[in-house]
């Protein structure tokens, strides 16, 4: 079994809403918006994808997150699912997980009343570094996590499965392939017909790639100091399905 190398170039950083993020000193990138990690998670991901509303309506909800990182978006989403007693199945893909103890410190600061959920998440991070796909793990009868420690570019995704996709890669400058048309086509194939992809990135190159991949996109006002964020949905049903490369 291969041990995935944890990312040790990380420091905790306080964002403007008081919640913590991680700062990657090697890439000069933060894991969440400097304007507010909690505000970003609430607005860009839970609210804009409609996940928050689905959970309030007790609709079973499948979320895929590209770039699971610390697991904070998972904790925030699971918190809502647990409060609503609504079924949530959350798949996270992460290529280079942060050290679990550091993630745990961040999670407990950002979600101080959710100690058991924070421990579940950081234990999942530790486990997935030993076994890249541990399969579904259940926090409670409502909340299931499938955390996959792998390169999202290479991981096969099921067709028409996800109600929401949180695209939370590093910036297009440092992580260009996760914003490319070929990867977005793979996500377009994996999302349900009425599913919503959400992200913080609004760059022109990314918007063009979304269109090329078969998505319609829409800009929204960003939370706190961020001007704009984005959602996208499948533009039609007639686009050719994503064809994985054959070797
Ligand atoms: C902006 S951070 C994600 C923050 C995370 N959502 C959170 O709540 O902590 C981007 C993440 O994408 C991961 N990543 C970068 N390239 C990847 C790839 N090809 N496949 C999977 N994850 C990748 C990085 O290791 C990093 O953890």
Atom of ligand 1 lying closest to residue 21 CA:
9
Residue 246 lies in a domain: no
Residue 54 lies in a domain: yes
Q: How far is the CA of 69 from the centre of ligand 1 (A)?
A: 5
Both tokens of 14, joined, read 């306080």
Q: How far is the CA of 21 from the centre of ligand 1 (A)?
A: 13
Q: How far is the CA of 238 from the centre of ligand 1 (A)?
A: 31
Residue 110 backbone phi and psi in degrees, to 5: -80, -25
Flag whether pLDDT at 241 surpasses 90. Answer: no
Residue 3 lies in a domain: no
- For residue range 180-196, what is the model confidence (pLDDT) as tens digits? 999 999 999 999 999 99
Residue 6, SS3 per DSSP: coil
Question: Is the Cα dihedral 57, 36, 126, 157 positive or negative?
Answer: positive
Residue 143 lies in a domain: yes
pLDDT reported for residue 246: 45
Number of domains into which the chain is organized: 1
Q: How far is the CA of 60 from the centre of ligand 1 (A)?
A: 25
Atom of ligand 1 lying closest to residue 67 CA:
12
Residue 242 lies in a domain: no
Range with the lowest mean pLDDT among 24-28, 107-111, 136-140? Answer: 24-28
Q: Domain with 224 in it: what CATH number? A: 3.40.50.150
With a Cβ cut-off of 6 Å, ligand 1 is lined by 31, 67-70, 72-73, 93-96, 151-153, 168-170, 175, 178
pLDDT reported for residue 6: 55
Q: How far is the CA of 41 from the centre of ligand 1 (A)?
A: 14
To test the ligand 1 pocket, which listed residue (24, 95, 104) has its Cβ within 8 A of the most ligand atoms?
95
Q: Annotate 62-84 with DSSP letters as a single string.
A: EEEEE--TTSHHHHHHHHHHHHH
Q: How far is the CA of 214 from the centre of ligand 1 (A)?
A: 23
pLDDT reported for residue 242: 44
pLDDT reported for residue 231: 98
What is the extent of the structural domain holding 71? 10-234
Residue 245 lies in a domain: no
Residue 5 lies in a domain: no
Residue 239 lies in a domain: no
- For residue range 31-51, what is the model confidence (pLDDT) as tens digits? 999 999 999 999 999 999 999
pLDDT reported for residue 236: 67
Atom of ligand 1 lying closest to residue 152 CA:
20
Flag whether pLDDT at 237 surpasses 60. Answer: no
Q: How many CA atoms lie within 13 A of 17 on its CB side?
A: 19
Please name which of 149, 132, 22 lies closest in space to residue 95, comparing C-alpha atoms: 149
pLDDT reported for residue 140: 96
Strand ranges, E, within 15-140:
20-24, 29-30, 61-66, 88-94, 133-140
pLDDT band for position 86 (cuts 50, 70, 90): very high
Atom of ligand 1 lying closest to residue 72 CA:
8
- For residue range 95-123, what is the model confidence (pLDDT) as tens digits? 999 999 999 999 999 999 999 999 999 99
pLDDT band for position 133 (cuts 50, 70, 90): confident
Please name which of 195, 204, 186, 190 lies closest in space to residue 231, comparing C-alpha atoms: 195
């Amino acid at each position: 079994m291969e041990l995935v190398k944890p990312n040790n170039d990380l420091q905790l950083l306080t964002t403007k809403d008081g919640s913590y993020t991680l700062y990657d000193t090697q890439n000069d990138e933060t894991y969440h918006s400097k304007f507010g990690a909690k505000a970003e998670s609430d607005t860009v991901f839970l609210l804009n994808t409609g996940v928050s509303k689905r959970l309030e309506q007790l609709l079973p909800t499948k979320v895929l997150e590209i770039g699971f990182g610390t697991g904070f978006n998972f904790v925030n989403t699971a918190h809502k699912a647990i409060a609503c007693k609504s079924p949530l199945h959350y798949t996270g893909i992460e290529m280079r997980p942060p050290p679990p103890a550091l993630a745990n410190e961040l999670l407990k600061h950002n979600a101080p009343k959710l100690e058991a959920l924070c421990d579940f998440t950081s234990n999942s991070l530790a486990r997935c570094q030993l076994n890249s796909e541990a399969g579904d793990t259940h926090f409670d009868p409502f909340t299931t996590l499938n955390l996959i420690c792998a390169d999202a570019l290479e991981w096969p995704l099921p067709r028409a499965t996800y109600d929401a996709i949180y695209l939370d890669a590093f910036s297009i400058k440092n992580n260009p392939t996760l914003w490319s048309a070929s990867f977005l086509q793979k996500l377009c194939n994996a999302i349900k017909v009425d599913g919503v992809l959400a992200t913080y990135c609004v760059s022109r190159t990314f918007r063009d790639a979304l269109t090329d991949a078969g998505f319609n996109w829409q800009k929204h006002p960003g939370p706190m100091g961020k001007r704009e964020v984005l959602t996208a949905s499948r533009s039609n049903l007639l686009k050719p399905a994503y064809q994985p490369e054959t070797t």
